[in-house]
Amino acid sequence: MQPNWIMQRSLLTPNRVGLSFQQKQWTFKELYENSLKTARQLASHSLFEGDRVAILAPSTPQLIFMLYGCMQARIEIVLLNGRLSEQELRYQVDDAEVKAIIVHEKERRKLSDERIIFFEEIMNAPQQSISISNEWDELSTVSIMYTSGTTGFPKGVRQTVQNHSASAVSSALNLGLSEEDSWLCCVPIFHISGFSILVRSLLYGMTVRLYENFDVEACTHEIVEGTVTKMSVVAVTLQRILTEMEARNLKAHPRFSTMLVGGGPVPVDYLKRAAKLSLNVAQTYGMTETSSQTATLSNEDALRKIGSAGKPLFFNRIKIDNGTSCHTEGEILIRGPHVTPGYIGRFRDKSSTVDGWLKTGDIGYIDEEGYLYVIDRRSDLIISGGENIYPAEIENVLMAHPSIKEAGVCGIEDESWGQVPAAFIVRKEAITEPEIMSYCRNQLASYKLPKRIKFVDELPRNASNKLLRRKLKEMQ
């Protein structure tokens, strides 16, 4: 068992600021009291402990209040990505078999379903008396996030009390803690990178400085003035901050300790530029199944170990499948209390581990000093601005069109986003690129849309007739 995080934090540091947004701020005591109220209002809508709800909302304080209310009520939370198409969202809410879909008014046009309850309805509802537990079962599910699988069908990943707390503690042991810490959060809360910041806040007693969307000028100002001490970004976000600081001849404030960069490798040029601006960059490797970080490369090793994802955090273990010696390449396997116990819905019967090890699908090696190097991130995975895109998901949509015989998708290099999807299509009958794009827009999120379409006579395949996506890049 673990203490109720929200209750315990309010007991320990009631008057410390827990959340800051624009010109407003809330202490941990105020967040606790708000969470109790929200939990009781959820009960008036017949949502109780053990139920599962989906939440679709932008990253505002209202979302955090709702999340904390659900956590108090011990309601499982399915976090929905507002960038997805209605068809993609519908798959997730149906697969998760949610009792209700709680939707912020800003997102009301993105999904229609009889299970929808709007934020305003809950916030204006009367409070119903319920029992609030002062302890949480470590194995109980807190959150569920969907991650695309190689089959093209997204998997609902369970993240437990133990998963989240182990991740937060490991991160603290690696990055350090200070009573003055304030984490600048402009990554979406519906991503593990965003939600994990909320967990760290409750366990550390740390302020979350929240932004609904990334604002390069405002975020740069916070870093330069030292009003925040840490920030989570992806490579494309880091690049924009570097460009802004260089253009204005600025340097990071000494109080700003760490820029945690995930979602893919960081270009060497970015690391060198950051060093000149006194911006400490820590590269990290993790996934939804590991509730955020598994390995992190410290800033002091950033240039010495260029290309490395660092060493495993304290409670975590990493090994290479069939890796009998240093530099032997193989699939990266992960073990630790931060690894998901399993999935829900379509993949509920799929084990998340084999002999206790999570098979990541990523290929890498470990050097003689124990540093991990990721060579190929889940083989065919496209990482675009920190978003994970699986080619199979796009291919499934394309090949459902009656005029398309075959489709293959791969990632191609892009100056702004790192990678973007490119589609190679064998036509069954006449169809144009604009027609294909129009068709895709109705079924895929904008970041998953192919940025280049090429018509070909045939796709490269091996003797087993398996599509060779690595060969697609040679056909550009």
Residue 297 CA to residue 372 CA, distance in Å, equals 9
Q: Contact 200/172 with Cβ under 8 angstroms?
A: yes
Query: Which residue in the block uniquely carries the two structure tokens 């949480």?
Result: 136
User: Is the pLDDT score of 149 beyond 70?
Assistant: no
Residue 215 CA to residue 217 CA, distance in Å, equals 6
pTM score above 0.95: no
Taking CA atoms, 357 is separated from 20, 181, 294, in Å, by 39, 34, 13
Q: Residue 206's pLDDT is what?
A: 97
* Residue 248 CB contacts under 8 Å (≥ 6 apart), including other chains: 220
Task: Please tell me the least confidently modeled range out of 92-101, 220-229, 462-471.
Answer: 462-471
Three-state SS for 333? Answer: strand
Strands (E), 62-127: 76-79, 100-103, 116-118
CATH top class, domain 2-136: alpha beta
DSSP 295-331: EEE-GGGTTTTTT--BEE-TT-EEEETT--STT--EE
Q: Contact 77/53 with Cβ under 8 angstroms?
A: yes
Task: Please tell me the least confidently modeled range out of 53-57, 327-331, 408-412.
Answer: 327-331
Residue 411 CA to residue 451 CA, distance in Å, equals 10
Q: Contact 239/262 with Cβ under 8 angstroms?
A: no
Query: Which residue in the block uniquely carries the two structure tokens 């199944």?
Result: 289
- On the question of a common fold for 2-136 and 170-376, the answer reads yes
Does domain 382-475 sit in CATH 3.30.300.30?
yes
DSSP 121-163: HHHTSPP------SEE-TTSEEEEEEE--TTSS-EEEEEEHHH
Residue 472 CA to residue 164 CA, distance in Å, equals 39
pLDDT in tens, 197-245: 999 999 999 999 999 999 999 999 999 999 999 999 988 889 899 999 9
Residue 253, phi then psi, degrees to nearest 5: -70, 145
Q: Residue 12's pLDDT is what?
A: 97
Query: Which residue in the block uniquely carries the two structure tokens 């519906």?
Result: 190
Q: Residue 35's pLDDT is what?
A: 98
- The ranges assigned to domains in the chain are 2-136, 170-376, 382-475
Task: Please tell me the least confidently modeled range out of 228-242, 342-356, 366-380, 440-454.
Answer: 366-380
Element of type H or E holding 373: strand 372-376
Average pLDDT over residues 159-176: 95
Query: Which CATH homologous superfamily contains domain 170-376?
Result: ANL, N-terminal domain (3.40.50.12780)
Number of residues in the chain? 476
Q: Which two tokens stand for residue 96?
A: 């998760």
* Residue 264 CB contacts under 8 Å (≥ 6 apart), including other chains: 234, 235, 377, 383, 386, 418
Residue-wise over 454-463: b if at least 16 C-beta within 10 A, else e?
eeeeebbeee
Q: Residue 402's pLDDT is what?
A: 86
Q: Residue 435's pLDDT is what?
A: 94
Three-state SS for 362? Answer: strand
Residue 175 CA to residue 384 CA, distance in Å, equals 26
pLDDT in tens, 131-141: 999 999 999 99
| Angle, in degrees to the nearest 10, between helices 28-43 and 61-73 | 70
Residue 449 CA to residue 386 CA, distance in Å, equals 15
Q: Contact 220/245 with Cβ under 8 angstroms?
A: yes
Strand bridging mode 343-344 / 155-160? antiparallel
User: Is the pLDDT score of 382 beyond 90?
Assistant: no
pLDDT in tens, 411-420: 998 888 889 9
Which of 336, 347, 332, 350 is closest to 291 using CA atoms? 336
Residue 149 CA to residue 391 CA, distance in Å, equals 10
